[in-house]
Structure 1
Amino acid sequence: MFNKFWKETLYALFFILALAFLVTQVTAFKVFDIFDPIGAVFEDMESTDIVFSQLREDPIAEENLVIVNIGDLPRGGIADMVNIINAAEPRVIGMDMIFRNPKEDTLGDLKLSDAFSRVENLVMYSKLVDIDDDGDFDTLEVSYPPYFDYGETAFVNFITGAADQDDLKMCRQFAVREYVNDEPELAFSVKMAQYMDPDKVERFLARENDVEDINYRGNIFDYGDTAYPISYFALDWYQVLDMEFAPELIKDKAVIFCYLGSELGDRKAMDDKYFTPLNKNYVGKTHADMFGGVVHANAFSMIMAEDYIDALGDNFAYIMALILLYLNIVLFTVIYKVVPMWYDGLTKLIQLIEAATLFTLNLVIFNYFNLKVDVTFSIIAVLIVGDALEVFFGVFVNLFTKEGRRELRQLKKL
C-alpha cells in the first residue's frame, strides 16, 4: 500500500508536468489571444513594483549628485552652463546627451567644445548600436569627434524591452559593461561613480553581474507620478545661467547634464522618459515617471550606497516550484482518498492560502533583504495542482482500471 501510494503521487507529478507542457504549447499558437487585453495590463508589472511604489520607507536624499536641466538651450547656452557649473569645482560632469553633427551656429559649437576642454573630469554620452542586428554591439555612437572629443565616453543604453520609441519603456535594469569590437565600455552611471569613489566601483564590478537591477531611491519633482519624495536636487537652465545657486551645492559632487523638459515640471515632455517601479500606477501604467538622466542618477546612488539588489536564479525558482508541486500532490492525494467529499473545498482553500503566502513572503523578503525570489512558477504550481490532480484520478487513472474501462464502455452504448 505504501509503495502504491508513492508511485501514484510520482505518476501524478509526471502527468501534471506533461499537462502543463501541453497547455504552454497550445498557448504558444496564440489560441487565447482573446485575453491579450487583460494580459497587456499586467505584462509590464512585477510584484516587487508594489514594494518600490507603496511599501518602502522614504529614502534619504542623494547628497553626492546634482542634476542640471539643459531645457531647449542651443549649444552656446549649454556651453555657458558647463562653464558656470565647472567654475564651482564639481568632482565630475556627465553629459547625458549627444551632439551628432556640427550646427550652422559654428560659434556655439566652438564655445561648447572650449567648455568641454576646460572640464577636468568629463563623461560624455555614447550609445551602443547593433547595426547587423546579430545580438552583438559593433558600433559606438558618440558626439561629433572634431569638436567634442573630450573626456571619457560611457554608454547610456537602458534595458527596457521596447522595440521602438513608441513602445512602453519600462526600466528596471541596466547593463554594467558591454564590449564593442572587443573594447570594454562602462555604463554611464558606473563611469560617473568611478570618478567619485573608484574603490566602491571596483567592488561593484567584482559582483561580476552583466546586468544589475536598479535599487531606485527616488525622483525629482514629478507631480505625483511616483509616491516617493524628491530625492534628487535639480537645477533648471535659467537658475544656472542666472547663478541662482550656492557654489557649495556643486563643489566635489557629481553633476549630470540632461534633458528634463523645457523647464522643470514640464509634464508634456516625453523625450527620454521611462516607466520605473516607482510609478504610482504599478498596474496599467499611464504616465512615464522618470527622465533618463534621473534613472542614471538612481543607478549611481545605488553604487555609491553599495545597496544592491540580489536575485535567486531561475534554477532555484524551478526547483522550488517542483518541490511545492509534489508536496501538494502528496497532501491532496491524501485528502482525495481519506475525505473525498471535502476535496474541492479544502484544496481550494489551501491553494488560496499558499498562493497568498508565497506572494506576501516574496514582498517581505524583497523589502527587508533586497533579494528577488521569482515565485511565479511556484504560485502557478500551487493553483493548478488541485484541478489537475482531479483530472489525473478521474480520467487518467480510470483508464487503467477495469471498473473505469467498464463504465466507459457503458457510456459508449448510451
Structure 2
Amino acid sequence: MTQQASPRRPFHGWFVVAGAFAATFMGFGAAYSFSAFVEAMQTDFAASRGSVSLVFSLAGFLYFGLGVITGPLADRFGSRRLVLAGMVLTGAGLAMAGLARSLTEVYLAYGLGVGLGVGCSYVPAVGAVQRWFSRRRGFASGIAVSGIGVGTLVMPPLAAVLIAALGWRDAYLAMGALVVVIGGAMALLIENDPRDRGLGPDGDPPQAAAMGDPVPGIPVAVAIRSRRFIILYAAGLICAFGVFVPFVHLVPYAIDHGVQPSTAVLLLGAIGVGSTAGRFFLGGLADRIGRRRALIAMFIGMAAAQMVWAVAGGIVSLAVFALLYGVFYGGWVAVLPAVVMDSFGSRNVSGLIGILYTSVALGTLIGPTAAGYVFDISHSYLVPILASVAVNLVAAAIVCLPSPAPADMPAAQAVRR
C-alpha cells in the first residue's frame, strides 16, 4: 500500500490550489465584470457597442495569448513570481482604466493592463496545480479554476454596487486595489513542484509517484506537431469565437429586452454559479468517465445552452441560460488543462497549455467584437448567438477525431483518457 502524507500535515498541493483559486478569482472576476461597465462607457464616450466590446476582446486576446510566453517562463523559473506580477498588473490596468479620458486610453489601460496581468497569472497558476496531483488532477484543476466562476458570481454585482455608489471610474480604482491586495497575497502560496518539498503528486513519496507515473513528459517541439495537439488547438480556436460572447453581451442583451440594469448584471453572477458547480462536479466526473470524453460533452453542453439564449426574452429564461451555460463553460475550463497533462506529461505542461491557449486568444479577439458590430448593424444578437452554437458543435466534432499519442510518448503515458 502506498504511504500517504501525514494526516496531521495537510498536503501542500491544496495550498497551491488555494493560491490558484485566488488568482483566477481576482483576475477573471475583474475581467468578466466588464459587461457591467459597457452601458456607462457607451454613454461617457459616445461610442458604439462594437467599439466598446473591443476593450474586452483586446484584453482576452492578451491574457490567453500571453500564456505562450508565461507558460515556459513558469516551467523554468517558477509560477509564484509570475502570478504575483500578474496580480499587480491587473490591478494597475483597472486603476488606469478608471483614469482614462478617451476610449483609446481605455484600450491601452484595460486591454494592456488587465490583458497582461491575467496572462501572467492564469497559465502559470493552472500549470502549477497539474504537477501536484495525479489521481485527483481533474478535481484539483476544477477547484483551482472555479475561482473564475466564483469571481464571476461575486465581482460583477460588486462592480454594479460600486458603479452606483462611486461612478464607473472610481469603481475601477477600488477593484484594482482589491486585486493587488488579495490576489497578490494569495499568490505567495503557489509553488511549482512537489519534489521541492520531498513529495510526489497527491502527497505520495517521490519514489512511489515515479513508479505510478514514470514519464516526465515529451519535448514541446514533439508535442505541438502531434495530431493530438493539433486537434486540441483547432477545437480551441473554433469554439473561442463564441465562448466569450455572453460575458460581454448578455447584460446589454437583457437590458435591451426590458430587464433593469441592476437585475441584468446578476445574470453574470448566474453564469458564475453554474461555472463554479461545473468546475467542482464536472472536473471530478471527468476523472471517472474519461477527460477527453468530458471535453466533448462540454462543447455540446455549451451549444445546447446557447440555443436557450437564442429564444430567451425574459429574466427567467435568461437566468436558465446563464446557469446552464456556466456549468458547461466551467467544465470546459476545468477539463482542458488536465487533458493536456494526460496527453503530453508534466515536463512542459505550463508551456503547452500556454501554446494551446493562443488558439483561444485568437477566437476571443474576434468573437465578442464581431458580435457587437453585428448588433450595431442589425440591432439583433440572433446571428452571433446561432454562430456560437455552431462553433461549439464543430469543436466537439473535431475532438471526436482519432488522436493517437505522440510517437515519442511511451506506452505507460499514451493511454487516451
**Structure in which a larger fraction of residues adopt strand:** 1
**Structure in which a larger fraction of residues adopt helix:** 2
Do these two structures clear the TM 0.5 threshold for a shared fold by scoring above it? no
TM-score, length basis structure 2 = 0.25
TM-score, length basis structure 1 = 0.25
